[in-house]
Chain A
Amino acid sequence: MSEAVLAPTEAAKPEFWRWQETCWADESKDWRSAKSITVGVDVGSVSSQCVVVADGELYAYNSMRTGNSSPDSATNSFKGVQLKTGLTLNDVHFVVGTGYGRVNVPFSHKAITEIACHARGANYMGGNKVRTILDMGGQDCKAIHCDEKGKVTNFLMNDKCAAGTGRGMEVISDLMQIPIAELGARSFDVDQEPEAVSSVCVVFAKSEALGLLKAGYTKNKVIAAYCQAMAERVVSLLERIGVEEGFFITGGIAKNAGVVKRIEKLLGINAMQTKIDSQVAGALGAALFGHTLVQKQGPQKPLIS
């Protein structure tokens, strides 16, 4: 988990918690012919995303692990997009920063909270029928209600506990020594669906997981018990503000079918689908806010060239 603290001479151990970093651009479009180009940068404590919106449509995005420095993460995430598309900050008309590091995006013109950005992003990704958004981020978990335009009407965030967050899942991946991307599928490969691990605390759930292994649980069953616990915790967060259809999930854990399917089962509601990477919702919403601001205020000079 804390791989950075290892002495440099130690051989690199396989890092099971490492999820896939992605960089994508719409090859059918050319940003050079766009009238308005805006960028959203979402710097979280675990991952950072950069999204480019051209004329109000998603054009490119980059998703990577946040290093130890937030301002560098913002710059690096933009560099990813730059390498892919040739776009530079001089070509961008507006930059909006969001996330934990929203004050640490040195080249942003405006900062907007991750709540508002996630709602706007989800509205784009899932369409105007989206009403309830669940975001399971790296170190927090949010429940958001929005209207048909993606404007927030109610929200609740839990960033005190690791339970229900990506870090919580990384802990289990590391403990079980299984790559994080495989956890979901494995959680279904069990003879019988187990009960959730009883603890609300990831630290205690870790000790509990070891006990379950000793009691004869297979690794898959422990993972299933953990996914169930996470689903239950997240659902209790959602039920505090109520769940209205269309239900949309963003954030890294949306890629974990083991948690998503169990949430859907508990709610009796299926999550809406999207082809866009679930981790970019925040940055996408930020870029869309930027697009609206360019329509109102006109393009802004780049703050760092």
Chain B
Amino acid sequence: MIANYGYKDGSGEYYISIDTSKCVDCAVGRACLTGCPKSMFESMTDDYDEEVVWIKAAFRRSLAYDCATCKPSSGYSRLPCTDACKPGAIKHSW
């Protein structure tokens, strides 16, 4: 399952997708949880009883602002979260 967390408003579309089939049985010990400087990810058990990660509810509606500190405008060329996720489950839409 691909779970998309985020929103669209007047300024654009900002979604972080998590491919749960790649996320379950994580081979890197949930490196995303510590990889994100703002700890935006957390572990949970989904509706189909699989242990995966999601974006914490507090961040889901302000991704453009929260992720800005990791984007090229702040000098980063690679995202810490997608780098940490070796299975490639995490994707940013912008």
Contact = CB atoms under 8 A, between A and B. Distances in A.
- Judged by CB atoms under 8 Å, the answer to whether A and B touch is yes
Interface of A: 112-113, 115-116, 151-161, 199-201, 233, 236-237, 240-241
Interface in B1-41: 1-5, 7-10, 13, 15
**Of B5, B47, B61, most A-chain CB atoms within 10 Å:** B47
B3 A200 contact: no
B15 A156 contact: yes
A159 B61 contact: yes
Contacts of A236: 8
Interface residues of B, number: 16
B2 A161 contact: no
Contacts of B46: 113
A153 B1 contact: yes
5 contacts: A152-B47, A155-B4, A156-B4, A160-B8, A233-B8
Contact of A152 (B1, B5, B61, B93): B1
Contacts of A155: 1-4
B47 A161 contact: no
B48 interface: yes
A113 B9 contact: no
Given A155-B3, A159-B61, A240-B4, A116 B10 contact: no
A158 to B, nearest CB: 5
B2 A158 contact: no
Contact of A201 (B5, B10, B47, B61): B10
